[in-house]
Structure 1
Amino acid sequence: MRILLYYLCGVFAAAQLGKLAALSPLMSRELHLGLAAMAALISLLEVCGALLGGVAGRWLPRLGLRRALSLAVLALATGAAAAAFAQDVRALAAARLLESLGYLAIVVAAPVLIARAAEGPRQAAALALWSTFVPVGMALGAWAYANAAGLAGWRPAQALSVVGGVLLWIGLRRLPSDTRSASVDQGRPPGRTGLLLWALVAAFGAYAIAEVGLLALLPSLLTQGGMPLATAGSWTAIAALANVPASAVGAWLLRRHGALSPTIAVGMTLSLLLSGLLFLAVMRDGGAATMQAPLAVAINAASGVFPCLVFALLPLAAGTPERLALASGRLTQFGASGALIGPPLVGAVVERWGWSAAGGLCLVLSALAVPLALLAWRRLAPRAHAGVATPTTARGVATPASIVRREP
């Protein structure tokens, strides 16, 4: 129950990405906002993560991760309520920044709480589930808010966020406290994390630039190839959701072979290189949209294995309970930075050199992530042999014994 509730908090946060994308046509028409202004408002949800991810990972444990999660869902609800009454772009931006703070707290705290709530082989499946929260939330948000706005308008549609945030807050408040272990939240902020963690999060950042850049520009690519906008939007949603079955494959690999198995290193390498090569087939000048669309789905089906494995390796990369929140914050910072950089960077390359050049850029980014990910994986082995990981997790994700303590 705990794991499902924490996961739903992540889905709720990601739904706020899909929300503004769905509501933007109605909002821009009523408030006379241009495309650039709406794009900036959508991306503002990632700003706090990009700027403050590391800081949040350092200080949220002092507040208490459960408490931070409760405040975060209320921040999303409050931001949505403020947006419903906004009369200009400045008010919308202020509301979006409040939502951004809530989003940041959720994506930092929730995976740490999930890692502590799951034990042994269950942790691989739990973190694999968490790795799907963005595509699931975006797809659910785009569908729910578009339908609500079609029935009642974009302002009343914001009530979905208000109701959702309040319900999640009630659910978090009703969770029983677990007093079987002491909390680490009252300790001092953790210290330096080392090359292992930096390599892992940098690989994730490179992956995010390429993946988000593709998804953001995929409707434009497909419509340029003659595909209707509605059909292009549907293919984009399918491509995003292709990460979900890919995460199940990653969880199966972790459960069967263990996080330190060479199979995991091979899985990360194949996931990144196969998707990187597919970028060349999808993002090219003069391509046929009917071929590019299913290949874009294949990209996400292949690359989706990688983030699943990254989240599963994160507890080992952190090494101690105090550093797990910091590790989650660093991962959030690099992922959010990639999400912010990806669309404008890929778009600028397309405008200057064409789609084929953008495909080459995404291949380079995917290839760059490979040695970084392998470096992080390789450095985990000495930790395990030194006794950081428990011997009972050989067939599941190798979980540091000190990290699986539960959050009270």
Structure 2
Amino acid sequence: MPASSASLAPAPTITTHWPRITTLWLCGVLAAMQFSKVSFAFQALQAAYGATPAAMGWILSTVGMVGLVFGVTVGLVAPAIGYRRLLLAGMGLGAVLALLQSLAPPLPLLWLTRLFEGVSQLAVVVAAPTLVMQHSAPRHRSIAMGLWSTFVGVAFALTAAGGGWVLARFQLSGLLLVHAVGMAAMCVAVLFLVPADGARSQPWPALASLPQLHARIYSQWATALPGGCFFFYTASAIALLTFVPQHAGADRPWLAVLLPLVSIAGTFSAGWLAQSLVAPARLVRAAFAGVALAGLALGACLTLGLAIAPVALLLLYLVGLAGGASFGLIPYLSPLPATQARATGAVAQLGNLGSTLGPPVFALATMALGAWGLVLPLLGFALLGCALASVGTRRHQAALQKS
């Protein structure tokens, strides 16, 4: 291993600081609300700005596009910045931007704040999980990462649960102001609860070396495999949460509420299973294989006209399990914080790619093939995820034996 990476590896943590882990997780939840607040208030924002759905769609997707383009870059520079400093910068910037949004700026300025929110969100999702792993004892690390991996689902669930009440009483500006206050509060919590970065850090990578460093991340299984598996998770999860309720008939209202919660349960339980029963690599393979089988069962129900709710709930649980196990691969494949930061950067980049490509693929397939258009892309993504996990872990272990 490079000497610089070894010098950055902290002494192994023998105890888990759960208040610190919870604080870091809440930072992730608040960062994910940069997506959920606009998704929830989409129509209110459209009405307030007199914008077309397409224009507001760009406002929504800009944050994810930043992660898609710069996810790996932030993972590369994180060790030079320091993980706590990067997290504080992301949370502080996010608080300021949400405050600016609450003042109802013109639409071009609103888009600009969303662009910088993408930078804020990316800083948090690279720094926070790396710190979670640093402050978790080995016996709790998979559990802590299982908790972390629920942050997006929890953000959407909390926004859906409380956003209507805030909008009704404090209008759109109040909803955005609540987010600003939450970001600022968690920034203060990090200041008090998370220890400062050490004095030594890696040097900044040279600008000319970034393409080579990007290529190195995707040529090493320890940094590429978690992101690759996470791509197949995000490509399926968001599309299923959108399209499955449309085929649920009379069960649609309650199923639309329950499916995200079941997915969160699957994501969180991945940490417990990986910690005590099965290695993350095996869990990823089993979860994707289960998704493929549940997808076939969903197709059978749709073909025979049977109620899909039981199968749909199982399917979303298994999809969540695959996502949580993908995050669990990060500490499983490497104990070094610098390597873990690069892996989280790849997860951010490929996760955004999956969430960008997945829904259009499912939409086009359902338009062409009807109900089975929901099943076939799911089978493809699940089987590819299972194959990638199998090949990747086997080749990673072979590389370790050679070194």
TM-score class, shorter:
0.7 to 0.9
1:311-370 Cα deviation digits (max 9, x unpaired)? 222124345332221111011110111111122222222233333123201111111111
Residue of structure 2 equivalent to 1:372:
388
Rounded to whole Å, the distance in 1 between the matches of 2:355 and 2:310 is: 22
Pick the aligned partner of 1:300 from 298, 316, 341: 316
Residue of structure 2 equivalent to 1:207:
233
Rounded to whole Å, the distance in 2 between the matches of 1:289 and 1:213 is: 21
Residue of structure 2 equivalent to 1:117:
135
2:74 is the alignment partner of 1:59: no
Pick the aligned partner of 2:97 from 67, 79, 83: 79
Residue of structure 1 equivalent to 2:54:
36
Equivalent positions of 1:2-401 (< 5 A) are 2-86=20-104, 88-175=106-193, 177=195, 182=198, 185-187=201-203, 189=205, 191=213, 192-193=216-217, 194-196=219-221, 197-222=223-248, 225=249, 231=253, 234-257=254-277, 259=279, 264-282=280-298, 291-318=307-334, 320-382=336-398
Cα distance, 1:6 vs. partner?
Answer: 0.6
Q: TM-score, normalised by structure 1?
A: 0.82
| Aligned positions, number | 375
CA contact (8 A) 1:72 1:102 kept: yes
Rounded to whole Å, the distance in 2 between the matches of 1:336 and 1:265 is: 22
Cα distance, 1:215 vs. partner?
Answer: 1.7
Gaps of 5+ in 1: 388-408
Cα distance, 1:174 vs. partner?
Answer: 1.5
Cα distance, 1:41 vs. partner?
Answer: 2.3
Rounded to whole Å, the distance in 1 between the matches of 2:196 and 2:102 is: 38
Rounded to whole Å, the distance in 1 between the matches of 2:367 and 2:232 is: 21
Rounded to whole Å, the distance in 1 between the matches of 2:300 and 2:103 is: 43
The one-letter code of the counterpart of 1:238 is L
Rounded to whole Å, the distance in 1 between the matches of 2:55 and 2:379 is: 30
Which secondary structure does the structure 2 equivalent of 1:242 belong to?
A: helix
- Structure 1 pair 239–114 and aligned structure 2 pair: CA distance change class (3 A): same
CA contact (8 A) 2:90 2:121 kept: yes
CA contact (8 A) 2:134 2:337 kept: no
Rounded to whole Å, the distance in 2 between the matches of 1:90 and 1:119 is: 46
- Structure 1 pair 251–375 and aligned structure 2 pair: CA distance change class (3 A): same
The one-letter code of the counterpart of 1:253 is L
The one-letter code of the counterpart of 1:273 is A
1:373-395 Cα deviation digits (max 9, x unpaired)? 122222444577689xxxxxxxx
Identity of aligned residues (%): 25
1:162-199 Cα deviation digits (max 9, x unpaired)? 110110111111236368xx566434549524341324
- Structure 1 pair 282–78 and aligned structure 2 pair: CA distance change class (3 A): farther
Which secondary structure does the structure 2 equivalent of 1:177 belong to?
A: coil
CA contact (8 A) 2:84 2:194 kept: no
CA contact (8 A) 1:128 1:251 kept: yes
Cα distance, 1:87 vs. partner?
Answer: 5.0
Q: TM-score, normalised by structure 2?
A: 0.83
Larger helix fraction of residues: 2
- Structure 1 pair 283–164 and aligned structure 2 pair: CA distance change class (3 A): farther
The one-letter code of the counterpart of 1:236 is A
RMSD: 2.8
Rounded to whole Å, the distance in 2 between the matches of 1:347 and 1:285 is: 20
